[in-house]
Amino acid sequence: MLLHDHVALTAAERATLEALVERHTLLERAARWALGAGLLIEEPRAMDEFSLDVPVRLSEDRWLVYDST
């Protein structure tokens, strides 16, 4: 079940959220591949840059805040 099934998002907000989730998924897959290949990632800036643990602006007046607790 997707977040926007429960929250009234505009089409633009939904597109922003879906792009963020897709980007995060691709970065997570790349990180898992690198770890599986025995590569050492000393400074994984890309993962931090797109972390879902920080508020993400969906539109001018709406923010997505992910609570992992």
pLDDT in tens, 7-35: 677 888 888 878 877 877 777 777 777 77
- At position 21, the amino acid (one-letter code) is V
The residue range of the domain holding 53 is 3-64
Neighbour count for residue 9 (Cβ, 10 Å): 20
Confidence of residue 37 (pLDDT cuts 50, 70, 90): confident
Higher pLDDT, 45 or 31: 31
Within 8 A by CB and 6+ apart from 57, the residues are: 63, 64
Q: Does residue 45 lie within any of the structural domains?
A: yes
Phi/psi at 3 (5° precision): -55, -45
CB atoms within 10 A of CB 46: 14
Give me the pLDDT at residue 4, please.
47
Number of separate domains in the chain: 1
Higher pLDDT, 67 or 18: 18
**35 domain residue, yes or no:** yes
Residue 69 included in any domain: no
Q: Which two tokens stand for residue 45?
A: 């800036």
pTM of the complete model beyond 0.85: no
Mean pLDDT of 55-68: 66
